[in-house]
Amino acid sequence: MAARIGVVTFPGSLDDRDALRAVRLAGGDPVPLWHGDEDLLGVDAVVLPGGFSYGDYLRAGAIARFSPVVRGIVEAAGRGLPVLGICNGFQVLCEAHLLPGALTRNAGRHFICRDQWLRVENTDSAWTSSFEPGGEVLIPVKHGEGRYVASAETLAELEGDGRVAFRYLAGNPNASLNDIAGVTSADGRIVGLMPHPEHAIESLTGPSEDGLGLFVSVLQTLTGVPEAVSA
Amino acid sequence: MTALTAAEITGEQPYAELGLSEDEYQRIVATLGRKPSPPELAMYSVMWSEHCSYKSSKVHLRQFGDLPGRERMLAGIGENAGVVDVGGGLAVTFKVESHNHPSFVEPYQGAATGVGGIIRDILAMGARPIAVMDSLRFGEVDAPDTARVLPGVVAGVGGYGNCMGLPNIGGEIGFDPTYAGNPLVNALCVGVLPAERVQTASASGAGNAVILFGAKTGRDGIGGVSVLASATFGALTSESGAAPARRPSVQVGDPFTEKVVTECSLELFDRGLVVGIQDLGGAGLTCALSETAAKAGNGMDVDLDRVPLREASMAPEEVLVSESQERMLAIVEPAQVMEVLNVCARWGVLATVIASVTDGAGDSGENGGRLVVRWHGEKVVDLPPASLVEDGPVYERPMQRRAPLPDRELPRPTDLRAELLSLIASPDVCSRRWVTEQYDRYVLGNTVLAMPDDAGVLRLDEETNVGVAMALDGPARFAALDPYTGAKLALAEACRNVAATGAVPVAVTDCLNFGSPEDPEVMWSFAEACRGLADGCRELGIPVTGGNVSFYNGTGDTAILPTPVVGVLGLFDDVTRRTPSAFQAEGEVLLLLGETRDEFGGSVWAWNAHRHLGGAPPAVDLKAEQELAEVLVAGSRDGMLSSAHDLSDGGLAVALVESCLQGHRGARIVLPEGADPFVALFSESAGRALVSVPRSEELRFSDMCEARDLPWTRIGVVEAEDGPLELQDVLSVPLDELRRAYEDTLPNIFGGDAVTHN
C-alpha cells in the first residue's frame, strides 16, 4: 500500500495542487490537509507547499505557524513525522522553529523565477536519500524572500553536522549565506528548501524531473527501501 | 424623502466636473423627467463615461459582431469575456483589458489592479483562471520617468499574478517616446471551465437576493473610469502635477483577498449556488447592479446601508461608484442564501445581502423594474437600469484621414556584424529576462511553453493532454504607418506565434489603445484599425470574442502610436506535440518559410539605426499566413519539426539569434545565391517562420510545403553546442558575444540581479 503524504492548504497556498501531483507521480497517496484542522488524518508525512499563506501579512509564514494544522505538525514532528517545507513552507518551518534560521528579502530586491542548478549536499535525510551524494539537479526557484540567514554559530553547526541539504550552483539567486538553498533538522526528518521540486517532475512542464527525487526519497524512507534510484 | 421629485433637486449640478457634456446632462434630465440626485448624477457620469459606454467606439465595434467561426463560441462580445468550446466538455475563456492611465499615476498599483480586474472578468464567466499575460508600452527605455514607471509596472504585474498563483506565460514590451507620459498596461487572463457551467451576469428571478462578497468598499478608485480613463492627462493640471493629484482615483489591490474570493466563487459555481454573477470593476457597484438588472429586464431594491465600508463617513455616491478591488456580486435564490453565506465564511470572505431583485413586469409594485437605492431610510436613486447601460450616448465622431508619415532613403550598413549586435541589444529586441524572471511561470504545473517562446502553451487536462496556446501582439509602428494594415499585421503575428508552437488559431481578443477620440485623425486611425481587424478575422475565419477600447492615451498634446493589441487563442489536441523556438540538435536543417521582400517601413532596424518611422508597413497576405500556419501545425502534429520561430521584429537575424541562444547552439547559414544579405537578415516581411527539421524529415517537410504552395528556402544547419552563429562570407559571432549583447541591456539600465549567463 502506498504511503499517505499530506499536503496542507492554507488560505493563500498556491502550489498545493502541484505538490499533490508530485506525490502522486512519485507513487504516493496524496492527502489534502486543511489549515484549520489540527487532525493530520493519520498521514505518514506532510508537505507544506509554496504560496503566500494568509497573504504573507506581517512576515512570510508568520501567521501560518499559529494555525491548528501547524500545531498538529509540530507535535507529530517531535515523534519523527517526516515534514517537507517548500518555499513558503520552508518559511513556516523556520517561523515554527522546526528548522533554524530565517528567510529574508532577496538581495536583488525582486521576485525571481528561474531554473536553478543545485548540489545535493546531504543524502541522509528522509527527503534526500534517493539522490547521489554531490549530485547536481535543476529545479526552479521563484520567490521574493528566499535569502537564507542564520547566526554564525548556527551556520557553523549546520555545516559541521552536514545539515545543509541543497546549495545553489552557478549563481546564487538571492545572496543566501553559504549559498544555502535548503537545510535539514538534526534528526534528518524535516527538510526545508526554497526551490520548488514539485515544478520539476515532468519534462513537459518543468526544466527536469529532478524534483521527483525528494518525493521518491520519503516514500523509500517510509517503506524502508534503502538504495538510491535517481541522481 | 418618499420620492425623488423635480422640486427637491435644484441649483447648478457639477456634471461637467464629472465628465458629462451639457447634452449628456440634458439627456439624463429628460430620461428621469427631473434633475438627477447627486448619487444618480454620479452613476450616469461613470456609466456614460467613454470607458464604460464605448460611446465613441460602439459604431465601429459593431463590425466584430458577425464574424465567421462563432460555432465554438459559448459567450461573446457583451459578456465579461468570450468563451470558446474546446471539446471534451471543456471551455476556455480569455480576454485582454487595459489599465493604462492608473499605471502612469501609480505604476505598481495601477498594473496590479489591471491584472486583478481581468482575473475577475474571467472568474465571472464561471472559470478557474489559469494564466495571465501582459502587453506593455513605455517611453524611451533610458528616459528618466521610465525608470519610475517600468520597474513599478513589472513589479505590479508580477506581484499580483504571483500572489494569486497564476503563471505568467508571455506577452510583449515596446518602447516609444509617445508613451512617456502614458504607458500601456494591457493584461490578459485565460480561464478554463466545464462547458455547461458558463455563468451569466444576469439578475433573473424577482425576489432573489443580491449578495456582495469580497473586500470592503472604500474611497479608493472613486471615479476611476470617468476621471482617469476618459480624459487626456495634462488637460486639467500641469503634466508634472497630474500624476500625484489623481492618486486617489487609483485602486489598491490585495491579491490574497482575490485568491480567497476566487476559491470561494469557484465553490459557489461548483455547487450551483448562484443564478447570476458579476465582478465589480470599473464603475463599481453602479455597473454591477445596473448591468445585471438590465440584462434580466428586472429591477433592484438596494439597501446601500448594508454595504460593508472601510470608512463610515462615505457618501452614497461614493459607495456607488467606488472601484475598490476584489469584490463580486452574486444573484442567489432565497433558499440558497444561507448556504452561500456559509461557503463565504469558510473561506473567510465577507458576504452581505444588499439588495433584492424586483420584477420588470411590474408585479413588484411601483418600484418593480427600477433600480432603487435607499440610504439612511431615504430613497436616493430611482431610475430605469437600462438607461445607465443601454441608453448612453453614441457618437459618430468626425474623422480625418491622417497624412502618411513621409519616407526617406535610409543609408544601409556595410558592417552587418556590428548592425546585428546593435539590433539585438536595442530595447525593442533585447532579452526580456529582467522582466519575465519577476513572473512565476510554473505555478499550477501546466505551463508547457512560456516566454521567450513564441506563445504561451498550457495543458488543460493531464489525462488527454488537450491544451491551448495564447499569443499577444501589437505592432504599433506598423499601425502608425497604416492603421488598417497594422491591425491586420497584429492579427497575423499573433496567429503566426500560436501556429509556430503547433496550435490551431481559433479566436481573438483585442485591446485597442488610441489617443483622444475627439481628435479626428485619431478617430480615423481607430476606425481603420477596427476595419482592418474585422476584415482580417473574416479572411481567416476566426471571431473576435471580446475586448476593450482605451482612448485618451497621449503625452501632452501628442497621441500615442495607434496600438491595437491582438490576442489569439489556439487549440492543441495534444500539447506533448508543442514546438519550441530553441534549436534542439546539431546538424538539423534550417528552413526559412515564406517570402522575403525588401520591406523596412516601421522596422526595428529603421528605428534603431536611424530613428526613422515612415513609409509603408510590410504587405500582409492573410491567405499566405494561413498556409504558413497550416504547415506549422501539420509539422508539429506529424513530428516533423524540432523548432519553429516566427519572424517579426528584426527579421531573420533576430529569429536566428534567439533560437541559437535559447538552444545554446550555433548555426551555419548560407544565403541563397543573389540574396542581399542586409535584406535577408533584417527585413520584416510578414508571413515567415524559421524552422529546424531533422535530416530524416527534410524531404517530407519540404514536399508538404511544395504541395501547399508555401515558399521555402534551405538556409543552413544547426551547429554544435555553444558553436558560433555564422553567416557564410558575411559574419560570424560567438554565442557568448551574442548573449552579452542580447541579455545585458535591461539589467544595465534597471539594475538589480546580474544575469547569470548559463
- Mean pLDDT per 10-residue interval, chain A, length 231 residues: 92 94 97 92 96 71 83 95 96 94 92 97 97 97 96 97 97 96 97 98 97 98 64 38
The yes-or-no verdict on residue B294 having pLDDT over 80 is: yes
- Single-letter amino acid code for the residue at A74: V
Residue carrying C-alpha cell 493584461: B187
Q: Do A56 and B165 count as a contact with CB atoms less than 8 A apart?
A: no
Q: Is the pLDDT of residue B756 over 50?
A: no
Mean pLDDT of all residues belonging to chain B? 92
Is the CB of A110 less than 8 angstroms away from the CB of B165?
no
A17 touches chain B (CB under 8 A): yes
Split at pLDDT 50, 70, 90, the class of B281 is confident
Closest Cα partner for A165 from A139, A134, A210?
A: A134
Residue of chain A with shortest Cα separation from B159: A111
Q: Report CB contact under 8 Å: A140, B165.
A: no
Question: Which has more pLDDT, B259 or B10?
Answer: B259
Q: What is the pLDDT of residues B196-238, one digit of tens each?
A: 999 999 999 999 999 999 999 998 777 666 655 555 544 333 3
pLDDT tens digits for B326-343? 999 999 999 999 999 999
A12 inside 8 A of chain B by CB: yes
Could you tell me which residues are beta bridge partners of residue B75? Answer: B83
Binary contact (A15, B348; C-beta < 8 A): no
Confidence of residue B577 (pLDDT cuts 50, 70, 90): very high
When computed from its CA atoms, the radius of gyration of chain A, rounded to whole angstroms, is 16
Q: Which residues of B touch A202 (CB under 8 A)?
A: 445
Residue of B738, B698, B737, B741 whose CA lies nearest to B717: B698
Least confident of B69-73, B165-169, B267-271, B698-702: B69-73
Query: Are the beta carbons of A109 and B752 separated by less than 8 Å?
Result: yes
Q: A15 CB near a chain B CB, below 8 Å?
A: yes
Distance from CA of B642 to the nearest CA of A (A): 15
User: H-type helices in B541-650, by residue range?
Assistant: 604-610, 622-637
Determine the pLDDT at residue B5: 61
B51 part of the active site: yes
Positions of A marked active-site? 87, 196, 198
- What is the percent of chain B where pLDDT is above 70? 94
Å from B616 to nearest chain A CA? 40
pLDDT of residue B38 exceeding 80, the answer is yes
Element (H, E) at A75: helix A68-78
List pLDDT tens digits, range B513-559.
Answer: 999 999 999 999 999 999 999 999 999 999 999 999 999 999 888 99
pLDDT on residue B223: 64
Chain B residues contacting A, CB < 8 Å? 155, 158-159, 162-165, 254-257, 259-260, 347-348, 436-448, 459, 462, 575-576, 752-753, 756, 758
State the pLDDT at residue B241: 38
Cβ <8 Å between B443 and A205: no
**Angle separating helix axes B416-425 and B735-743, nearest 10 degrees:** 40
A54 and B CB contact within 8 Å: yes
Q: Which alpha helices (DSSP H) does B11-145 contain, by range?
A: 22-32, 38-47, 50-53, 58-61, 100-105, 107-124
Q: Which three three-digit cell numbers place residue B642?
A: 524540432
Q: pTM of the prediction?
A: 0.94
Residue B70: per-residue pLDDT:
86
- CA dist A4 and A21 (Å) reads 13
What is the value of ipTM here, to two decimals?
0.95
Tell me which residue in B164, B445, B758 faces A205 most closely, judged by beta carbons: B445
Contacts of B347 in chain A (CB under 8 A): 11
pLDDT above 90 for B8: no
pLDDT of residue B641: 98
- In this structure, what C-alpha cell is assigned to residue A163? 545539515
HSE at residue B183, side-chain half, CA atoms within 13 A, is 37
Q: In the structure grid, which three cell numbers stand for residue A73, read together?
A: 505538525
Q: pLDDT tens digit string along B380-430?
A: 999 999 999 999 899 999 999 999 999 999 999 999 999 999 999 999 999
